[in-house]
Amino acid sequence: MTGITTDTRVLCHYMRQECINHKHSYDRNHPVGRLINLLKLKMQVCTQRYDRRPYGVGLLVAGYDDQGPHIYQTCPSANFYDCKAMAIDCNLSDLINHGVRALTGTLPNETKLNNKNLSICVVGKNYKFHCLDENELEKYIIAEIVGTQPTSSASDSSEVGVGRTERHGEEQSSTLNPQDPTPVESATEDRRMQ
C-alpha cells in the first residue's frame, strides 16, 4: 500500500465485504482476479465524476485461488496489472528474509523495523492462511539487524512457526517448515507438471 491511508481503509473494507458476501452466497472463496476487477470498477467511477476525487492509493494485492497464486498492482487511475512472481531454489524462510530485507530498505533512517510496523502472512496451495505471531516476527527482525539467517530453537525443531487461526469459533493449526518450497514455487512446479 502506498498513498492515503484513509483511502486504503475504504478499499480494504470494500474487498473484505466482497469476499464475505461471495463466501456467503456461493459457499466458496472469491476468485482473486474477479475481486480485483470489482475493485477496479469501484475506483474507476471516481475518475469519471467531477464531484469525486480518485482514490489516492496504490495497492499490491496477493492471493491464491483455483487458478494458482496471483499478485496484482492497482493504481489510483484504476488501472491494474497482473504481476508474475517466481521463487527458484528458495524456501519459505529465505523468502521471508528477502521480504524483511526489502522492507527494511524502504524505511526512513529514523524508523526501525519492529513487530508494530511489520506483519507477515503466508498463503498457498499447501498452506492455510497463516500470519506469523510476534515471536516469529522477532526472529526475522533480529536476523535482519544482525545480518544472519534466523536460527530455530530446540522447541521449533526446524519450523518457522506454528500458527493458530480462529474461524467461526473453530481452531485450526498450521505448521510452516522452512525446508518446504515456497507456496509460489509449489504452484509453479504443479503447473509445469500438467
**What φ, ψ does residue 128 adopt, rounded to 5°?**
-80, 155
pLDDT for residue 151 = 56
The span from the CA of 19 to the CA of 17, in Å, is 5
pLDDT tens, residue by residue, 20-30: 999 999 999 99
pLDDT for residue 149 = 67
In terms of domains, do 169 and 119 share one? Answer: yes
In terms of domains, do 189 and 103 share one? Answer: yes
Amino acid of residue 128: K
Q: Which of 58, 83, 108 is the last residue of a domain?
A: 83
Task: Say if residue 7's pLDDT is above 90.
Answer: yes
For residues 109-132, give the mean pLDDT: 85
pLDDT for residue 77 = 92
Task: Say if residue 78's pLDDT is above 70.
Answer: yes
- Sign of the CA dihedral 151, 152, 154, 155? positive
The span from the CA of 76 to the CA of 40, in Å, is 9
Which tops the pLDDT comparison, 56 or 159?
Answer: 56
Per-residue pLDDT band at 178 (split at 50, 70, 90) = very low
Question: For the chain, what is the domain count?
Answer: 2
In terms of domains, do 48 and 123 share one? Answer: no
For residues 108-133, give the mean pLDDT: 86
Task: Supply the range of the domain harboring residue 66.
Answer: 2-83
Which tops the pLDDT comparison, 109 or 87?
Answer: 109
pLDDT for residue 105 = 85
Per-residue pLDDT band at 63 (split at 50, 70, 90) = confident
Q: What percentage of the chain reaches a pLDDT higher than 90? A: 36
Burial profile 163-190: b = 16 or more Cβ within 10 angstroms, e = fewer: beeeeeeeeeeeebebebbbbbbbbbee
Which tops the pLDDT comparison, 87 or 136?
Answer: 136
Q: Which of the residue ranges 101-110, 166-175, 176-185 would you say has the lowest mean pLDDT?
A: 166-175
Query: Does this model's pTM top 0.85?
Result: no
The secondary structure of residue 160, as a DSSP letter, is: S
Helix (H, G, I), strand (E, B) or coil at 5: helix
The secondary structure of residue 35, as a DSSP letter, is: H
- Rounded to the nearest 10 degrees, the angle between the axes of helix 5-26 and helix 32-48 is 130
Q: Which of 53, 83, 113 is the last residue of a domain?
A: 83
Strand partners, 131: 121
Compute the radius of gyration of the chain from its Cα atoms.
18
pLDDT tens, residue by residue, 123-172: 877 778 889 999 999 999 888 888 776 654 333 333 333 333 233 333 33
Helix (H, G, I), strand (E, B) or coil at 130: strand
pLDDT for residue 184 = 46
Which tops the pLDDT comparison, 17 or 119?
Answer: 17
Q: What is the distance in angstroms between the CA of the first residue and the CA of the last residue of the chain?
A: 35
Q: Outline where DSSP puts E strands in 132-178.
A: 161-167, 170-176
The span from the CA of 11 to the CA of 14, in Å, is 5
Which CATH number goes with the domain that contains 73? 3.60.20.10
Q: Which of 25, 48, 83 is the last residue of a domain?
A: 83
